[in-house]
Structure 1
Amino acid sequence: MSLRAFSSVLVAEKPAAGKGKDKAGIQCMEWCCRSLYLGGRDSVVHQLSLPAVGATAAPPDVREVNRRQMGRSGAVVQLRAIPILNHLLVLWDGSVSALNMFSLEPVSPLKRIQNVSCMEVSSSASSSEPVYVELVTASAKRRSVGLHRVYVDRWECLRQVPLQQEPLALGVREPCVCVATADRYLLHDYQSGNTLHLFQHNLGRQSLIVKPAGEREFLLNGPGSLGMFVVSDGISQRPPVPWPAGVLDGAACYPYVLALHGQAVHVYSMLDQQLKQVVPIQRATALTSTTEGVFVIAEREVHCLRPCALELQIEALVAEEKMDQAMVLLEGVRDLLPTHTYKELRRTISCLLGLIHFYQESFREAQELLIDGHLDPRELLRLYPDMSSVCGGFHTQLPPLSSSRDLGELSREDQASFQHFLHFLCLFLQAVRGTAQALACRSDVDCALLRVYLRSGMSDRLVQLVSSTNDCHLDVCAQDLRQHRRYFALGLLYQSHGQHFNAIQTWVEMAEGQDDDSCATDAYQHILSTLKELHDRDTFWTFADWALQRDQEAGVQIFMRDPEGPIPPFPPEELIPFLHKYPMSLLTYLEYLVGELKSKEERHHTLLALTYVAQLLQQGPGWGEADGHTHSIDSHTHGSHTHQSHTHGSHSIRWKLQQLLWQSDHCDAHAVHDKIANTNLHTEKAILLGKAGEHKKALQILVHKAKDRQAAVDYCWRTSAGQERNYRQELFLSLLQTYLDSAQAAGAAADLLNDHAAAFDATAVLQVLPAGWSVQLVGRFLRGALREAVHRRRMGEVEAALATAQQRRVRGTWTKATNTMVKLERGTICGACQRLLARPEFVSTPAGKLVHLECATGGTGARASS
């Protein structure tokens, strides 16, 4: 109990008697307006003038101002001041008298109130005129409680409340009166007239306590040695205080309850109900709570227990590391402290209490308290070995704790336990990073997090930290990453700080094997992704050559930027000359330019086709000599695996070339044809000739040089797609004639006719067929042609019938609508075509207009008349 909640000051001693032996001591007191009124057992009322009561134990300069002899014998039982009326009420000889507060002269208009055993005055006065104060009296003789109004020159008795037992103690908290009788406590609301019985007790007269404790709240000495709090509706909102048996008196001075017991005053906390202080005072008899403090009445002395400043009490608990008690006290008196004082004390207590839990390895509680207390992260960093260098010259603002531990020694002796502390540091820094708590030391927090991730092997967290926006000290963290051989993360750190050249150079050294990072991903691919999103053109061109030299097909992606993205793409005129050094990269870029960006530039399409041709001539054996063996697209490959992959690549490129030639309308066909004229790329030649309209030459190449029947058929179908039927029939007839011109291709011609009968005009075919062909040879063709002819004739008849029916339906509709008499006058104009109705064939529309019959049935004016 080292807390000093109150300091004791001797206020006054009973003045010595003038003559004879002074046999009486102090019975009661009242404090008001720097005047101390003492009621003696010798019927005398003393008025003492006191300066402000100091904090020292020395008696203040006391001066007796007045005294009043109430009678020859009997003690002054109670004194109550009413400063608004300048009255001092004196309970003596079973009656209440009124004296002037300043002169102690009787107030003559106010006669005595008889048969009073105790009294209490309400703490507030009425605001009406005339001003009055309510007085509650208890009469043991009459077993009743009376309510009075005290005015300046009179008092009135409003009502008397009868009781079953005589009242022994009394307390008032308007509009409620709490009364203690011989065996129970009860509450009476003198506004509503309701009476509530609280609880019974077995206390003697001297141990009954009824004192005001708060707004509409009373402090009672309850059964079982409990100081109980009761509000006006009969319930208790605070836990009871367990004080010792035999308490003589009590008083409330928030947040404490004082109990007079034996030769000392015991101080208990209302907040945690614990005994906080014991103040020894000899022969004390009563306690009185005032705004100045708690006055203790002894036999011949009056002491004042002045509450110590709440800030000092809390700081004393903090100094003794009683953080829980300090926090309870702080929260309990929050409304009594200035806002800034409360916040500062709470911050300090929360931080210190959090550090105590931290050293006890109660990490969850520690983190909550340290965050709640807005602990400067550097306070925690300075405790860890190798972390103090991060926060430089930081000086702690917190007092030292006796429970602190040396984490440096712990890391050397018990690495497993130290890892728990390191993990807590990681969680705490992650929680405060980016908040106002870490605003003043963002760099220190990020540097410390990087070191924690390195020590704990948290690769994912490390990469996430250095790849996002961070405030790491670049030089310090770069050195740490090099020391731990984390070169990939080092490049990310450079990149996040805008040093793109250093970042890419670091990854280049990794990709070339100069620096080994076992935790890194594909450094080359990351370099490509970085270059693709890079704004710095100088750095881009510095590493572009390296990227393409390492892998032409993968490296070219750095040039393929989204035209609608934040980084503008490079103009093709700038890239194409550069990519000529890298054929595969050039090919991929041109495919991207034509296929995805949909370029309509002729030079792009032509260059892509020529690049395909160059690749074929370079990779595919046999493409370059026109008189050599023909390699069709579906030809089989021979020999080694290398030859197979080359052939497969050639076929893929040739297929892309053919698709480009078919689909592109912007390619220079003559330039490409000149390039492949002396090669075996016969299919491509045919496509180009077809683009120029020379279909017969194209078919001859496919039939005689490419020797690919299916390619010739596909050519006819693809070329005639979307064209009129006659166009397709002419193409297939040209293909048939090409076969017929060659004696060796008679079988191919018959197969063409029989397999594609619907594509031919039967009449034209019969005119060109050799006379020596039998009907059986072209039987399938004839049957198919006949079936097609019949089908077309019947479909024509159906279409004609439908058109006739439609016309008749329209004429019938108009006839019904115009079945009325109309008068045709000279100069009448057709409502549809605006011509004169010179002929009798006309109709009348529902709108009343006369129109020509031809206009009504679908002529030129039908739409206008509708």
Structure 2
Amino acid sequence: MFEEREIGCTIFSYVKLLARTISDSPVKKVKACPTINILVILASGNLLICDAEQLEIVNFFPTFNDVADFHLTAEAETTPKLCLGFCTQIVKLYSLSKATLLLIFEVRLTYVPRVVCTGLDFICCATDDRYVSVDLKTGVVTDLLEFGENVTKPFVTYVAKDEFLLYGPGSLGIISDASGKSQKAPLQLSPNVVESFVWKNYVFTVTDEFFTIHSIQSQKQLQTVSLSNATAACFSSHGPHLAVVATAVSGRRDQQTDPDLIVIGPERWDSLARKFILADCIKQAKSLLLRQSARIESLLQNRPASSKNEQKIFNVRAKHVFGLLGFYYFEKGDFSRAQRYFEKSLIDIRELLVRYCDLLPNGYSFTPDPFYLLHAQDNRIHSPESDCTQFCGVPELSLAHAIRATDANKNPDNVTVHQLTEEWNLQYDQFLFDFLQKHHKSRFAEEYSHFLETALVKLYIKLLQHGVKPVLSELILPPGPMFGPFTSSRTNDSNQQQAEQSHDLVNLISGLAHIDVEDLMSFLKQSNSPHTLALIYQWQGNLGAALEVWRQLVYGELKDENFPGVDFYVGVLRWLAAPTAEFSTFWTKFELQSQTELFDDSAESSSSYVKLVWQHFCQALESGHFELAETILLALPVCFSRKVSSPTGLATSHTDDSSLAPSQCLTPDNILRKIRPISPDLTRRYLRHLIFTNDDKDSEHHNLLAQLYSDFILRKLDADTQTTTSKECLLSVRREFCRFLRYSYYYSPNALLEILNKTASKSLSYELAILHGKKGDHRSALDILLNQVSDIRSCLSYCLSYLYEDQTRLHRSLICWPYDSSSLRANTAADCQLDSTDTPVSPVAPELFTILVELCLARHDDYHEDIALQLINSPDIPLDYSKVLSLIPGDFPLQRIAKFLRRALLTTSTQASTAQLQWGLSKCCANQSALQVAARPTSVIVHVEEHTKCSRCSRELGAYGPSAPFAWFIKTKQLAHVHCLKDSDQL
């Protein structure tokens, strides 16, 4: 059994299924009848009929002796017939069926029939010296041709109806009818013919040296195939029209040799389709493909079990044709059709990559399939001496398109050939990028995924360098949300596109898993793309090298248009300093959270990452990049629990960084120790960040910030000359200082007041007023603002700030107050959440406004008197009504203070009623609680101490005042601020 296979070329494999010994003598002739599944075998004059599957002699068929030759007619549409020529000069014709052998004709000749052949109504025989025909109806024998001794081996082949091909003298093939007449010219055949076959108007002959095809109509030899030592052959008139030739291995005659089988067939249909495509006959090629597809579908319907091999061969060859069509349209620049046919063909990715420059790794050798070679015909691109086996690469194709556009006058804007070539290069790069990212996870590309993914990054860089921003598809994006570390609220509109572009680059690399790092690094170095090189370093795990490249980009030592800027560099450092930083998660998920959420006391950062962050911060600080150092500091998460020593000691001592543990590098104390000797201004801004942004309650940090503010302001005031810029800077810093003095409760106002009184008591009136207020001497504070500075607006702002503080304290004292930590960000007094735990519970604002009214009335002028009256009559200003009544002069007209009197009366009565109601409710609640406690078998007591912390935010329970509400989880014995509770908590 043999069958056709496809492994890039056509081969036939044959398998020995069964072997039996039929006769001790050599087999002279074998013919098969597929319709009834039998073999007819002639050996030593004995004719045997065997079963074709088991090779066993069929007992119900007779065995014939003294047989000279036989001819088996086994056409599918006719009844099988067996013609026997005996050595006894008898010719018999039998009709065959699966179980019987029926004699239908018999004739005796006067000579032995050496060759017999059956036609429709005649039998043609070859004797020792002539050809004769026998009429099956009358039995009349007619001489056809006498050849004598000129033909050593005669043969007779049935042509059509009652015509036979006779091998005559001079190696002529004579076509004669049953009467001996020839209506067609003879054919010149080769000597030593082994077998001959006739199909339609063609004659196929096999000699010991050649296989030839002749045309009966034109009498021409159409094709010759060289053979060697052919001994036998058979021909299939159905299907692919194959000729199977047995050849003997050359050797000595006395040695037995095993024959080899050679299959000769017509040109493969895919090769014919290739010729059509090369000749621009695309319709003919597609029509041929459709016909072959229809043939296979019909075959599958008729023989579903035994046609799988034919279907497999068709699929392989159809993919070849689809791939060739893809390259045809690829070279034409029709990318949509090219992509469609490439997808149908499941093209080897390397066939595409090899046509581009630098996409396959350096040193990698790949030979394109010759089937896909389409040659450019423009001599301006390919010289006549060039190797015709070389494929046409993308640069040559782009140049060809540009030249054709110029020659065809399709260039109305007079664009140069070079510019047109670049445009076509970009189109080819864009097409391949889109195709590769669409199929980077397809099964047909799995084997060469490292080539594909490396080429994706290279193409992305090439497109970016030419001003084209590729669009990433969902197929290549990493799973889950990924927000690049360079995302920043400071990004303006001009840099937004660049940031998104670099974000896509990060997404692209993070979505790949089989990058050829060595080849890609070599390419990136040559293409001057340090940012992408750093991303590959990080993808590979070499984070130190990646950060060093980004540092050089930030410092301006390297240039890369794709680098998003400082925000990216700082964002990576911030992410590395986070306690949850894991290298793998950088490529799958990066969510920007608030710094307090990102960094809690119990978490630990990776030691190697923290060391890297510390090194890069020190580099920025020591190299004079103070703005970058400040940006890094403001981005780093803060943890206050890791104290090395007091900040005072840190500010004066010099500790070697190498002696610090990784957990101590990024603590505020160590950072202050590092930056204070180098840049006091950076130290001041960093302390302000700790206090105002991260709610730092360390009193020594507050005192240090106050000292730095005072030193800076006094130094500026002592300067001889001040420019407009320096005056604006001084004013801005003084405003920050006043805000800090007003809302911070953790510095020492007495010590600071003593320093300012000695140095610049007149120049720093606002600061002195706030410090007096911090000591509780509000009269002195308002006196300075009103009488020394004469700034009534500052007096009102001073009083209003305490009014807002009183209102905030009142809200926090409510048991069921739905507190949200973000809601106080807009309040002036609580902007920094710096409430003192020991501030008095009683409101301060009434006292302040009463003092302000008193001071205004004491000025004894109309302006301040009007202000005092406005304050008295304002419905929203709290006052000490009895005190105010004592301050109003007796000659004041009552109509000027009528609103005040009415409000004072109503407010006093309301306060009295409220006090009685609160007293009654408190008493009732106390009695009810006592009854509940007494009824309980065991009482559960909650112990709250001064340093008890919230289980949610890890801050002290009293951080928002002694009356701030908190929640108590009895089962878990945990305490938490009410505003820290989440919807998921079961209360």
How high is the TM-score relative to the length of structure 1? 0.50
Change (3 A) 1:714 1:498: same
Pick from 612, 627, 630: which aligns with 1:556? Answer: 630
Give the aligned partner of residue 359 of structure 1: 328
Change (3 A) 1:746 1:78: closer
Give the Cα–Cα distance (whole angstroms) in 2 for the partners of residues 78 and 762 of structure 1.
131
Q: 1:484-523 CA deviation, whole Å, 9 max, x = no partner?
A: 4334444444344344443344344444444444x34553
User: Which ranges of structure 2 fall in alignment gaps of 5 or more residues?
Assistant: 1-9, 13-32, 42-46, 65-76, 82-94, 104-160, 162-197, 204-212, 218-233, 243-262, 275-284, 377-390, 403-420, 471-500, 578-608, 640-661, 811-840, 922-930, 935-987
Q: Is the 8 A contact 1:699 1:735 kept in 2?
A: yes
Give the Cα–Cα distance (whole angstroms) in 1 for the partners of residues 730 and 896 of structure 2.
39
Q: 1:599-632 CA deviation, whole Å, 9 max, x = no partner?
A: 333334444444443443344x37x99xxxxxxx
Change (3 A) 1:331 1:588: farther
Give the Cα–Cα distance (whole angstroms) in 1 for the partners of residues 744 and 751 of structure 2.
14
Give the aligned partner of residue 537 of structure 2: 494
Q: 1:178-201 CA deviation, whole Å, 9 max, x = no partner?
A: xxxxxxxxxxxxxxxxxxxxxxxx
Superposed displacement of residue 585, structure 1: 3.5
Q: Is the 8 A contact 2:610 2:666 kept in 1?
A: no
Q: Report SS of the residue matched to 2:793.
A: helix
Q: Is the 8 A contact 2:638 2:668 kept in 1?
A: no
User: Which ranges of structure 1 fall in alignment gaps of 5 or more residues?
Assistant: 6-28, 38-46, 55-59, 69-76, 82-96, 106-206, 208-259, 266-277, 283-301, 626-638, 808-830, 835-866
Structure ID, larger Rg: 1
Superposed displacement of residue 358, structure 1: 1.0
Correspondences of 1:605-684 after superposition (within 5 Å):
605-619=702-716, 621=717, 642-643=723-724, 645-677=725-757, 678-679=759-760, 680-684=763-767
Give the Cα–Cα distance (whole angstroms) in 1 for the partners of residues 350 and 565 of structure 2.
36
Give the Cα–Cα distance (whole angstroms) in 2 for the partners of residues 796 and 592 of structure 1.
42
Q: Is the 8 A contact 1:532 1:561 kept in 2?
A: yes
Pick from 441, 445, 449: which aligns with 1:442? Answer: 449
Give the aligned partner of residue 286 of structure 1: none
Give the Cα–Cα distance (whole angstroms) in 2 for the partners of residues 671 and 79 of structure 1.
127
Q: Is the 8 A contact 1:528 1:558 kept in 2?
A: yes
Q: Is the 8 A contact 1:508 1:523 kept in 2?
A: no
Pick from 450, 458, 480: which aligns with 2:523? Answer: 480
Give the aligned partner of residue 49 of structure 1: 49
The structure in which a higher percent of residues are strand is: 1
Superposed displacement of residue 377, structure 1: 1.2
Give the aligned partner of residue 268 of structure 2: 316
**Match status 1:414 vs 2:400:** yes
Change (3 A) 1:407 1:309: same
Q: Report SS of the residue matched to 2:347.
A: coil
Q: Report SS of the residue matched to 2:729.
A: helix
Q: Report SS of the residue matched to 2:528.
A: coil
Q: Is the 8 A contact 1:377 1:445 kept in 2?
A: yes
Give the Cα–Cα distance (whole angstroms) in 2 for the partners of residues 647 and 749 of structure 1.
31
Change (3 A) 1:103 1:495: closer
Q: Report SS of the residue matched to 1:383.
A: coil
Q: 1:301-360 CA deviation, whole Å, 9 max, x = no partner?
A: x99756569999899333444572655555665655687985676356314531343134
* Percent identity of paired positions between Structure 1 and Structure 2: 20
Superposed displacement of residue 279, structure 1: 12
Q: Report SS of the residue matched to 2:61.
A: strand
Superposed displacement of residue 475, structure 1: 4.5
Give the Cα–Cα distance (whole angstroms) in 1 for the partners of residues 338 and 99 of structure 2.
58
Give the aligned partner of residue 868 of structure 2: 753
Superposed displacement of residue 578, structure 1: 2.4
Instruction: Letter of the 1:468 partner, please give it.
Output: I
Instruction: Letter of the 1:410 partner, please give it.
Output: E
Q: Is the 8 A contact 1:354 1:368 kept in 2?
A: no
Pick from 500, 503, 517: which aligns with 2:546? Answer: 503
**Match status 1:429 vs 2:451:** no
**Match status 1:698 vs 2:781:** yes
Change (3 A) 1:309 1:433: farther
Give the aligned partner of residue 768 of structure 2: 685
Give the aligned partner of residue 99 of structure 2: 101
Give the Cα–Cα distance (whole angstroms) in 2 for the partners of residues 332 and 697 of structure 1.
108
Give the Cα–Cα distance (whole angstroms) in 1 for the partners of residues 268 and 673 of structure 2.
81
Superposed displacement of residue 378, structure 1: 1.4
Give the aligned partner of residue 34 of structure 1: 38
Give the Cα–Cα distance (whole angstroms) in 2 for the partners of residues 607 and 62 of structure 1.
116
Superposed displacement of residue 661, structure 1: 3.2
Q: Report SS of the residue matched to 1:533.
A: helix
Give the Cα–Cα distance (whole angstroms) in 2 for the partners of residues 336 and 313 of structure 1.
24
Give the aligned partner of residue 786 of structure 1: 901
Q: 1:19-43 CA deviation, whole Å, 9 max, x = no partner?
A: xxxxxxxxxx994352789xxxxxx
Instruction: Letter of the 2:614 partner, please give it.
Output: W
Change (3 A) 1:472 1:675: farther
Give the Cα–Cα distance (whole angstroms) in 2 for the partners of residues 765 and 584 of structure 1.
47
Change (3 A) 1:403 1:539: same
Give the aligned partner of residue 509 of structure 2: 468
Q: Is the 8 A contact 1:676 1:685 kept in 2?
A: yes
Superposed displacement of residue 392, structure 1: 0.3
Give the aligned partner of residue 531 of structure 1: 573
Give the Cα–Cα distance (whole angstroms) in 2 for the partners of residues 523 and 511 of structure 1.
7
Instruction: Letter of the 1:527 partner, please give it.
Output: Y
Give the Cα–Cα distance (whole angstroms) in 2 for the partners of residues 664 and 507 of structure 1.
39
Give the Cα–Cα distance (whole angstroms) in 2 for the partners of residues 30 and 503 of structure 1.
74
Instruction: Letter of the 2:630 partner, please give it.
Output: V
Superposed displacement of residue 368, structure 1: 2.8
Q: Report SS of the residue matched to 1:756.
A: helix
Q: Is the 8 A contact 1:353 1:366 kept in 2?
A: no
Change (3 A) 1:412 1:791: closer
Give the Cα–Cα distance (whole angstroms) in 2 for the partners of residues 749 and 352 of structure 1.
99
Instruction: Letter of the 1:523 partner, please give it.
Output: G
Q: 1:246-298 CA deviation, whole Å, 9 max, x = no partner?
A: xxxxxxxxxxxxxx998799xxxxxxxxxxxx99999xxxxxxxxxxxxxxxx
Instruction: Letter of the 1:574 partner, please give it.
Output: N
Give the Cα–Cα distance (whole angstroms) in 2 for the partners of residues 364 and 309 of structure 1.
38
Q: Report SS of the residue matched to 1:49.
A: strand
Give the aligned partner of residue 115 of structure 1: none
Q: 1:716-760 CA deviation, whole Å, 9 max, x = no partner?
A: 4443534899965544444455567x7x66557634531222555
Correspondences of 1:57-96 after superposition (within 5 Å):
65-66=61-62
Change (3 A) 1:709 1:395: same
Give the Cα–Cα distance (whole angstroms) in 2 for the partners of residues 585 and 344 of structure 1.
76
Give the Cα–Cα distance (whole angstroms) in 2 for the partners of residues 472 and 431 of structure 1.
17
State the superposition RMSD in angstroms: 5.9
Give the Cα–Cα distance (whole angstroms) in 1 for the partners of residues 98 and 613 of structure 2.
99
Pick from 381, 388, 396: which aligns with 2:353? Answer: 381
Change (3 A) 1:737 1:585: same
Superposed displacement of residue 103, structure 1: 8.2
Instruction: Letter of the 2:770 partner, please give it.
Output: I
Give the aligned partner of residue 115 of structure 2: none
Give the aligned partner of residue 586 of structure 1: 683
Q: 1:139-186 CA deviation, whole Å, 9 max, x = no partner?
A: xxxxxxxxxxxxxxxxxxxxxxxxxxxxxxxxxxxxxxxxxxxxxxxx
Superposed displacement of residue 579, structure 1: 3.0
